Amino acid sequence: MDGQREQARMPLFSPFEMGNTDPADLAARLEKAGYAAPLRAAVTPGGEHGDLVDLALRALDVFQQDGSLFHPYTSKYDAYLAGKAALTEEETRGLVAFEDPARGNCASCHVSRPGLDGTPPHFTDYGLIALGVPRNRDIPANTDPTYFDQGLCGPLRTDFTGVTDYCGRFRTPTLRNVALRQVFMHNGVFHTLRQVMEFYAERDSDPGKWYPRGAGGSVMKFDDIAAAAHGGVAEAVNQEPPFGRRPGDAPALNAREIQDIIAFLGTLTDGWSAKKTAGR
């Protein structure tokens, strides 16, 4: 089994993702969903009947290697970069705020410009960053107050256990097609882009809106990182704009800037065509 196929296997069987218990379970679901016949037809055109799970992994592997399917780069923003589309005023304001180091500063992590060789922007710098997102109390594992999913420092990863500076760090995700998502951040704590934007804008200026209060009444900031939840300091948490404000300061982004950035994020959805939005 090669790397890519192995990677395709992981989310299918991870209890945190698709949660299939074993290959037989997955095969039954593939049959039930009507995928068995098309998989057999597509992956083994000669009619040879392989193991259904293996066929699914091969299909995912091929899908990921086919650039035009896996990353078609057909968003409105790609057309704009190619000089084939104009952004609306709102989208343009959103792009400017997204890239402004003093306001959104989003592009410092979610890279928005093509690479020197012309590679379309991936909207991630592939960095590992701690944003200190609030704990998601709907996750069953989190009913245990001593359990913390801290990304780079574990417990799922074990190569940096105990390196507290790495606790709470997660890979910067791409923002391509982000407007299609309904669950955001590594722990799924947010459900709308507006919530995500307001968190960026107000994490430090209005922390009481995002984190619970401890027994003494003080706000338990970064409550999903063990050290912070236990009264310590979460050393790794990012403090650059839009973060780094003091309680009571104005939010880093106002309501209009938030709206503008959400409009801009909408231009990152693949499958845009000039005809569909003609007349806008």
Q: How far is CA 3 from CA 42, 58, 63, 93, 233, in A?
A: 22, 12, 14, 42, 38
Looking at 50-58, 81-89, 178-186, 226-234, which segment touches ligand HEC (CB under 6 A)? 178-186
Q: Are 278 and 79 in contact (CB under 8 A)?
A: no
d(CA 203, CA 180): 24
CB 84 to ligand HEC: min, Å: 24
- Taking CB under 6 A as the rule, does residue 185 contact ligand HEC? yes
Joined together, the tokens standing for residue 43 give 């992956």
Which of residues 55, 60, 95, 133 is near ligand HEC by CB under 6 A?
133
175 contacts ligand HEC (rule: CB under 6 A): yes
* HSE-up of residue 3 (Cα within 13 Å, Cβ side): 1
> Binding segment for ligand HEC among 15-23, 55-63, 82-90, 168-176 (CB under 6 A)?
168-176
Closer CB to ligand HEC, 61 or 204, in the complex? 204
- Shortest Å, Cβ 178 to ligand HEC: 5
Q: How far apart are CA 19 and CA 10, in angstroms?
A: 10
Q: Which stretch binds ligand HEC (CB under 6 A): 24-32, 68-76, 98-106, 205-213?
A: 98-106
Rule CB under 6 A: say whether 170 interacts with ligand HEC: yes
Are the CB atoms for 236 and 150 separated by under 8 Å? no
* 154 binds ligand HEC, rule: CB under 6 A: no
Judged by CB under 6 A, which stretch of 78-86, 185-193, 213-221, 272-280 contacts ligand HEC?
Answer: 185-193
Identify the sign of the CA torsion 64, 184, 186, 199: positive
Q: Which of these segments, 29-37, 125-133, 202-210, 215-223, binds ligand HEC (CB under 6 A)?
A: 125-133
Q: Does 122 bind ligand HEC (CB under 6 A)?
A: no
Q: What angle do CA 30, 33, 34 make, to 5 degrees?
A: 90
| CB-nearer residue toward ligand HEC: 25 or 99 | 99
* 75 near ligand HEC, judged by CB under 6 A: no
Residue corresponding to tokens 């095969």: 27
Q: Does 228 bind ligand HEC (CB under 6 A)?
A: no
Query: Where does residue 57 fall: left (phi above 0), alpha (psi -120 to 50 degrees), or beta otherwise?
Result: alpha
Phi-psi region of 164 (alpha: psi -120 to 50; beta: other; left: phi over 0): alpha
Q: Cβ closer to ligand HEC: 57 or 168?
A: 168
Q: For residue 206, what are its two tokens?
A: 């209005």
- Residue from 110, 135, 176, 203 in contact with ligand HEC (CB under 6 A): 110
109 near ligand HEC, judged by CB under 6 A: yes
Closest CA to 144 of 152, 135, 153: 135
Q: What are the residues binding ligand HEC (CB under 6 A)?
A: 98, 104-106, 108-110, 129, 131, 133, 170, 172-173, 175, 178, 181, 184-186, 193, 196, 200, 238, 240, 242, 261
